[in-house]
């Protein structure tokens, strides 16, 4: 997710042009993305016990 994506979503979902802190939004977006990755990884791990390639690829996205 890019900074532009975060700003676009924030503008779409803020009330009445409410001011927002871009750095705070980026940090929040990263927390949400990390939580979603972990939830996906739990599913991958439960369905693919013997195949770690997919889980490793998802984890690597969080390192970028």
pLDDT in tens, 11-54: 777 766 666 677 877 788 888 888 888 888 887 777 776 666 77
DSSP 8-state assignment for residue 53: H
Number of domains in the chain: 1
Q: How many CB atoms lie within 10 A of CB 44?
A: 19
Compute the CA torsion angle 10, 21, 59, 47 (nearest 10 deg). -40
* pLDDT at residue number 20: 67
Q: How many CB atoms lie within 10 A of CB 40?
A: 14
1 — pLDDT class (breaks 50, 70, 90): low
Domain that holds residue 22: 3-63
């Amino acid at each position: 997710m890019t900074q532009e994506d975060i700003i676009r979503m924030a503008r779409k979902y803020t009330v009445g042009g409410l001011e927002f802190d871009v750095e705070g939004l980026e940090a929040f977006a990263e927390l949400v993305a990390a939580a979603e990755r972990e939830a996906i990884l739990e599913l991958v791990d439960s369905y693919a016990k013997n195949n770690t390639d997919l889980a490793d690829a998802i984890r690597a996205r969080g390192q970028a």
